[in-house]
Amino acid sequence: MMKKYVYNTIIGPIEIVEEDGYIIKLGFSIDDKVEKEETSLIKVTYKQIEEYLLGNRKKITVPIKLKGTEFQKKVWNALLEIPYGKTMSYKQIAEKIGNPKACRAVGMANHNNPIAIIVPCHRVIGNNRKLVGYAGGVEVKQKLLEIESNKYKL
């Protein structure tokens, strides 16, 4: 059974959803259909997210389960390999997964990433180094990248 809890953070409200001992969603849109309950895993996840947002944690270490197509999972797993504080372009991700012409499909997989921040789609930028698209808004994407580069001031 899915459980969720919504927290207010320095980047706005985030929703964390757990199912069967795994985080399956961390996002910026709120789903009122899921039962609201703050489980111990959700609490641990939130604590680690808060530490990350304060610049005190580089890796979120909670169990996650990615739900999507095989292509999406391939993209999301490639995102998990982008180091903290680094960025890659959509083209570089497409090349990394062995499908160099799939830049737009990589963008759509990013758009559908169910576990923001933990699966760091915010680290994917345009080929021209511009920040493009993010579920939480480009301003949030910029803040996350600034946190990772130690340039963000609270």
pLDDT of residue 78: 97
- Is 103 among the catalytic positions? no
Q: Does the pLDDT at position 10 exceed 50?
A: yes
Q: Which domain holds residue 83?
A: 70-148
pLDDT in tens, 91-136: 999 999 999 999 999 999 999 999 999 999 999 988 777 777 777 7
User: What CATH number is attached to the domain comprising 96?
Assistant: 1.10.10.10
Q: Answer yes or no: do 75 and 49 share one domain.
A: no
pLDDT, mean of residues 127-146: 82
Residues 65 and 138: their CA atoms lie apart, in Å, by: 26
Q: Does 61 reside within a domain?
A: no
Q: Does the pLDDT at position 154 exceed 60?
A: no
Q: Answer yes or no: do 78 and 110 share one domain.
A: yes
pLDDT, mean of residues 9-18: 93
Query: Which residue out of 64, 121, 125, 140 is catalytically annotated?
Result: 121
pLDDT of residue 34: 67
Q: Does 27 reside within a domain?
A: yes
Q: Answer yes or no: do 77 and 115 share one domain.
A: yes
**Which of 53, 81, 96 is a domain's end point?**
53
What's the pTM value of the predicted model, to 2 decimals?
0.90
Q: Answer yes or no: do 6 and 75 share one domain.
A: no
pLDDT in tens, 23-73: 999 998 777 776 688 999 999 999 999 999 999 999 999 999 999 999 999
Buried b (16+ CB within 10 A) or exposed e, 122-148: bbbbeeeeeeeebbbeeebbebbbebb
